[in-house]
Amino acid sequence: MNFQSILEETRVFLDHLGLDEEPFGVYYDDTKPDKAFGPKPGAPMSRELEERGQMDMQAVMKTFSCVIGNIWLARKKQRAAFISTKEYGCPGGVFYCSMMKPYLRFIENYVTTGFQGTPIHGERYLPSPESMKNFLETVDPRKPPAKYCIFKPLSHFSEGQTPEFVIFFARPEVMSGLFTQAAFTTGDVECVVSPFGAGCTNIVAWPLFYKEKGMEKAVIGGFDPSARKFVKTDELTFTVPWSLYRKMLEALPESMFNVGDTWPVVRKKVDRSARTWGERD
């Protein structure tokens, strides 16, 4: 199946799902797309500088820019979003997007219980710095394969460009279709996972984790409280590796979307949800 055929099958899939927004693809490249949304260049940042006490965290945070926030802008404008080692925006996001290793130790406290004697109370997303350290060392994305990690609508990919992952943004009714299609395609009752992580962890770092282990897993995300302001109400993310996505499209003719009368009932609820949120007449 060539890329144009994949785009055509994607449109068929979206029509089955009742989803108006096309998915985004993730890829790595040394060239940044024109008019892409992303962070401004930030202050020098590395574990080495951090351990020597030579890193200015206030300067680092002055250029804070959320990965999911930039994707949110890209979604609204139908453009690309990016992150790079120098244009990092978020000390956590640059690690999760496989653009910087090792991670900053600062994150261990920031996401958990904060720093004693300072106003930084911590996000309290995990109970201790040790639990966060274990998480970071487990997910541990690879070293940067190119200058930029880029997110853009699937239809914006040209021949010769192949996304590593495909990201859907969907509410639960549509998510049920994506979830079931992944299970139908693989026959694996544990083919969809949803581990703890930041918004960008579940669209890049965890999918990379499973890919590196040779496992075709779909990852549900969007539960990060810090990233919720950059997604629609009730919306989650569903990310699949390119290899699995192609198989999901190939399996469509024999799936519930074309056989039986169960999905049409759900499809009506998809339309009702879209009308409720003013996204459809």
Q: In angstroms, how far is CA 149 from the centroid of its own chain?
A: 11
Same domain assignment for residues 253 and 173:
yes
Dist. CA 200–CA 197, nearest whole Å: 8
| Other CB atoms within 10 Å distance of the CB of residue 153 | 16
Q: Which of 76, 111, 139 is the last residue of a domain?
A: 139
Dist. CA 91–CA 74, nearest whole Å: 21
The pTM (predicted TM-score) of the whole model is 0.96
Same domain assignment for residues 182 and 246:
yes
Closest residue by Cα to residue 244 from 200, 183, 171, 174: 183
Same domain assignment for residues 66 and 129:
yes
pLDDT < 50: residue spans in the chain: none
Same domain assignment for residues 126 and 199:
no
Same domain assignment for residues 12 and 68:
no
In a domain, 86, yes or no: yes
Q: Beta strand 192-193 with 218-221: parallel, antiparallel or unpaired?
A: parallel
Same domain assignment for residues 161 and 255:
yes
In a domain, 150, yes or no: no
Closest residue by Cα to residue 39 from 9, 77, 68, 1: 68
Q: What are the angstrom distances between the C-alpha of 70 and each of 8, 54, 73, 101, 225?
A: 27, 29, 5, 22, 16
Same domain assignment for residues 11 and 71:
no
**Domain of residue 263, residue span:** 3-26+156-274
Specify the number of domains making up the chain.
2
Structure tokens at 130: 């040790």
In a domain, 41, yes or no: no
In a domain, 36, yes or no: no
Find the radius of gyration of the CA atoms of the chain. Answer: 19
pLDDT (0 to 100) of residue 130:
98
Q: In angstroms, how far is CA 107 from the centroid of its own chain?
A: 19
For residue 126, give the 3-state DSSP assignment.
coil
158 - beta bridge partners? none
Dist. CA 99–CA 110, nearest whole Å: 20
Q: Which of 139, 171, 196 is the last residue of a domain?
A: 139
Same domain assignment for residues 78 and 164:
no
With b meaning 16 or more CB within 10 Å and e meaning fewer, what string describes 177-211? Answer: bbbbbbebbbeeeebbbbbbbbbbbbbbbbbbbbb
Q: Which of 139, 171, 189 is the last residue of a domain?
A: 139
